Amino acid sequence: MKIPDRKKEILRAIIDRYVGSAEPVGSKSLSAELQLSPATIRGEMSELESQGLLEQPHTSAGRIPTARAYRVYVDELMRRHELSLEETAQLNRALRGRIEELDSLIAYAGRVVSQLTNLPAYAAAAPRAATISRFELISVDARGFIAVAMRSNDEVVSKLVRLPNPIPDGLLLKASAVLNASFTNITDERVTELLLNSTARAIGDTVGLTAILAQFVIETLTEPPTELTVSGSARIFDYPEYRDADKARRLLEYLAGDSSPPTLPAPDDGADVKITIGPENLAEELRDSGVVVTRCAMGDGTDLLVGVVGPTRMNYAGIVTKLKYLTSGLATINSEQLTINNFGTGDDST
Amino acid sequence: MKIPDRKKEILRAIIDRYVGSAEPVGSKSLSAELQLSPATIRGEMSELESQGLLEQPHTSAGRIPTARAYRVYVDELMRRHELSLEETAQLNRALRGRIEELDSLIAYAGRVVSQLTNLPAYAAAAPRAATISRFELISVDARGFIAVAMRSNDEVVSKLVRLPNPIPDGLLLKASAVLNASFTNITDERVTELLLNSTARAIGDTVGLTAILAQFVIETLTEPPTELTVSGSARIFDYPEYRDADKARRLLEYLAGDSSPPTLPAPDDGADVKITIGPENLAEELRDSGVVVTRCAMGDGTDLLVGVVGPTRMNYAGIVTKLKYLTSGLATINSEQLTINNFGTGDDST
DNA sequence: TTTAGCACTCGGCACCCGAGAGTGCCAAAC
DNA sequence: GTTTGGCACTCTCGGGTGCCGAGTGCTAAA
């Protein structure tokens, strides 16, 4: 669809105004800004309406943009948004805040973004494929030992194991040798029944050690379902479109994920920002909301996803800018941290 | 305050009814149930009102109970609530669900309780005082090692550490010996500057190992701030008192803890259920809500807190019964699990 | 002491009406 | 041909009015 320049200007003006006010915008209020008489603008508006880009809540109200209009806006009309000095300062302050480990970084990024955009935000670590690079079994007492595994991404996982029967002398040592020989640097698909059986034989297992170690290996290799944190969901109350308790409820329930974890959009590999508007969203509950989400590579091979959810009329330009600034800052800080002080990045104690 | 029996009956009837309907109850609607004429009931009501137990939203509306009335109700009038067959079945089903580790158990308990009571629920592990019973330092490469500590409650904490400079031969061995000698079985208050200095000397630290190990010890001893999970907060929309978007917002924001973590009531040691009603709540945000919370001893010395938040007119009797049933069930299951299969209780990998 | 009756009060709801904002269309102006 | 001013029309929103019903307080009778 080719849209003449003047129509574009008008559409952009309507969207910019509606994003701020959430109220239908009429022709008269635009005439000053666009240097056109209301009548002219009305004419263009009614054409935009027949193209499905504007709609009227009722006769004799102004026009509001449709979801399609936002799509056009995001793809073609959006002006690059400049961060104000204050906003940059706020972002820098947030970035300088201590970031200690991945878990809390996820939640932290979500909180910062939510606060910055005044919208509900979600953050998650994208799944990562790790292998185990090192095993260690530490004897604790006759029946107990600590299993420690170091992941290829430098995370450490450990677990206390107690068996019903005493562990024969030397078994732990042998098991640890076999684990390091057979189970390091492989992905989880390669941990097969066959491998497990041969391991059991190699160890000479008489106390049921193999089954437990196998579980440990598999748990360690298969990342726990990507944890998702949602921050600031109460901020939707700032937007009149969620004044209706039912609408607010539906979105909040969805984000809280009490029944089923919410499936939120994520940028395709490569794309750095993904915007889905209204009906473009897969989830029924997001069909009248907009989502902006970005992906940010962390040093250790993990990707961080951060996004916001809000009314379709949200300030896409501003949000995109803020998200980009934040993720680029995070990436920088993260790489610095990796270089200068590695202590803490492998932490898994919380 | 001594209340005659008939007044008690009337108060109870009013509360029971109001809990269900959330609408002011009038004298006429009670006359059948209480075998008294409306006029009589009116007389009693007006006395209850002057005692501060009832109030009228406006002249010519029925009466509603005050927060004080709920206090009286909970302390003296509440009848033991019987769980329906269906409810017991639901609870048993929930309890039989797999409970794998403490972290997820906390969230799980919250979800179950929220679903069962149809109210927002919160769950947390009560702080525990642990000491470290065992240290192990595992060399990884020239500059890196894994620090492993086992807590007195059988949890294992581990961390990968990388130093800027290579670690001299034998230093790890020595450090581990000193740690085991000086830092096991002591509480965090006893980790003093003095102790740290003498440790540094004992190890002969030339690569800044001591500072990092000290940090590790302190982190391990001082439990991370008790994690709090809130489930089903969107359920407050089921209650007309939170229809007002502002009220809902205030409570939701508080529970989400985006600004500051919510301080929620917890039973005193010993008491198994604590109920705080309206103004009894310390938090400003809960002043027009009620909270019922219970404490449940887990096998490993930890306590689990589970509670619900709702309108002051909530069904205290039913909720108390459900909470008690659930916690007793949890305690049982937990102890079984500890006896039969210890694998996983020491997990700290998530 | 309880009950029936009665007058009174007040919130909620339906209804109406006028003001205001915005549109669509048409004819005149550029 | 495009733009503009004018005008009639439509529709929402807010305030005002009047009725209805629920519930009370009081009083006098049982």
| A313 three-class SS | coil
The rounded distance, in Å, linking the Cα atoms of B154 and B151 is 5
The rounded distance, in Å, linking the Cα atoms of B252 and A234 is 6
**Closest-approach residue (CA) in chain B for A246:** B237
10 Å CB burial of residue A97 (0-12, 13-18, 19+) is exposed
Q: How far is the CA of B283 from the C1' of D22 (A)?
A: 37
Cβ contact A348–B158 (<8 Å): yes
pLDDT digits (tens, 9 = 90+) for A237-285: 999 998 888 889 999 999 987 666 677 777 766 568 899 999 999 888 9
DSSP label at A61?
A: S
Q: B212 CA to chain A: closest CA distance, Å?
A: 8
Q: Across the interface, which of A140, A243, A350 has its CB nearest the CB of B150?
A: A140
- Under the banding of pLDDT at 50, 70 and 90, the label for residue A343 is very low
pLDDT at B229: 87
| B155 three-class SS | coil
Does residue B130 contact residue B153 with C-beta atoms inside 8 Å? yes
C-alpha B201 chain-centroid distance: 44
pLDDT at A261: 65
pLDDT at A348: 40
The rounded distance, in Å, linking the Cα atoms of A71 and B7 is 65
The rounded distance, in Å, linking the Cα atoms of A262 and A259 is 9
pLDDT digits (tens, 9 = 90+) for A23-71: 999 999 999 888 999 999 999 999 999 999 999 998 888 999 999 999 9
Cβ contact A160–B245 (<8 Å): no
pLDDT digits (tens, 9 = 90+) for B229-286: 899 999 999 999 988 888 899 999 999 876 666 777 777 665 688 999 999 998 889 9
| B286 three-class SS | helix
A308: β partners: A121, A292
| B304 three-class SS | strand
Least Cα distance to B270 among B303, B308, B299, B292 occurs for B303
Chain B residues near residue A155 by CB distance under 8 angstroms: 160
pLDDT at B317: 94
Least Cα distance to B107 among A103, A234, A349, A258 occurs for A258
Q: Across the interface, which of B138, B252, B347 has its CB nearest the CB of A159?
A: B347
Q: What is the pTM of this model?
A: 0.76
350 residues of chain B, pLDDT tens digit each:
677 889 999 999 999 999 999 999 999 999 988 899 999 999 999 999 999 999 998 888 899 999 999 999 999 988 888 888 888 888 777 776 655 555 667 888 888 899 999 999 999 887 656 788 889 998 888 888 999 998 876 778 888 888 888 888 888 888 899 889 888 888 777 777 777 788 888 888 777 788 888 888 887 776 655 678 899 999 999 999 988 888 899 999 999 876 666 777 777 665 688 999 999 998 889 999 999 999 887 666 677 889 999 999 999 999 999 998 888 887 776 655 544 443 433 334 33
Q: How far is the CA of A26 from the C1' of D15 (A)?
A: 25
Nearest nt (C1') to B49 (CA)?
Answer: D24
Least Cα distance to B48 among B94, B96, B88, B12 occurs for B12
Residue type, A292: V
Q: Which fold has domain A132-221?
A: Enolase-like; domain 1 (3.30.390)
Pick out residues 41-70 of chain B having their CB under 7 A from any atom of nucleic acid strand C: 43, 58-61
Q: Is the CB of A58 under 7 A from strand D?
A: yes
C-alpha A219 chain-centroid distance: 23
pLDDT at B319: 95
pLDDT at B259: 64
Cβ contact B212–A148 (<8 Å): no
Percentage of residues in chain A having pLDDT higher than 70 = 85
Q: How far is the CA of A43 from the C1' of C26 (A)?
A: 13
Instruction: Look up the CATH number of domain A85-128+226-340.
Output: 3.30.450.40
Instruction: Look up the CATH number of domain B85-128+225-340.
Output: 3.30.450.40
Does residue B277 contact residue B70 with C-beta atoms inside 8 Å? yes
| B296 three-class SS | strand
Q: Across the interface, which of A140, A150, A234 has its CB nearest the CB of B134?
A: A140
Q: Across the interface, which of A231, A249, A348 has its CB nearest the CB of B237?
A: A249
The rounded distance, in Å, linking the Cα atoms of B315 and B78 is 10
Q: Select the more confidently predicted residue: A121 or B270.
A: A121
**Closest-approach residue (CA) in chain A for B230:** A256
Which tokens belong to B331? 């305690």
Mean pLDDT of chain A: 83
Chain B residues near residue A160 by CB distance under 8 angstroms: 150, 154-156, 342, 345-347
Residue type, A222: T
- Under the banding of pLDDT at 50, 70 and 90, the label for residue A102 is low
Pick out residues 57-86 of chain A having their CB under 7 A from any atom of nucleic acid strand C: 59-63
Would you kindly state where each structural domain of chain B is located, as residue ranges? 5-77, 85-128+225-340, 132-221
Q: Is the CB of B233 under 7 A from strand D?
A: no
Residue A346 has pLDDT above 60, yes or no: no
* Neighbour tally for A249: CB within 10 Å: 17
Which nucleotides on strand D sit less than 7 A from a protein beta carbon? 3-6, 9-12, 21-27
Residue A12 has pLDDT above 60, yes or no: yes
* Neighbour tally for A268: CB within 10 Å: 9
Pick out residues 47-106 of chain B having their CB under 7 A from any atom of nucleic acid strand D: 49, 56, 59-63
- Under the banding of pLDDT at 50, 70 and 90, the label for residue A333 is low
Q: Which fold has domain B5-77?
A: Arc Repressor Mutant, subunit A (1.10.10)
A274: β partners: A293
Q: How far is the CA of A223 from the C1' of D21 (A)?
A: 64
- Under the banding of pLDDT at 50, 70 and 90, the label for residue A296 is confident
* B219-237 burial: b if 16+ Cβ within 10 Å, else e: bbbebeeeebbbbbbbbbb
Q: How far is the CA of B38 from the C1' of D25 (A)?
A: 12
Rounded to whole angstroms, what are the CA distances from B149 to A138, B296, B341?
11, 27, 22
Chain A residues near residue B347 by CB distance under 8 angstroms: 159-160
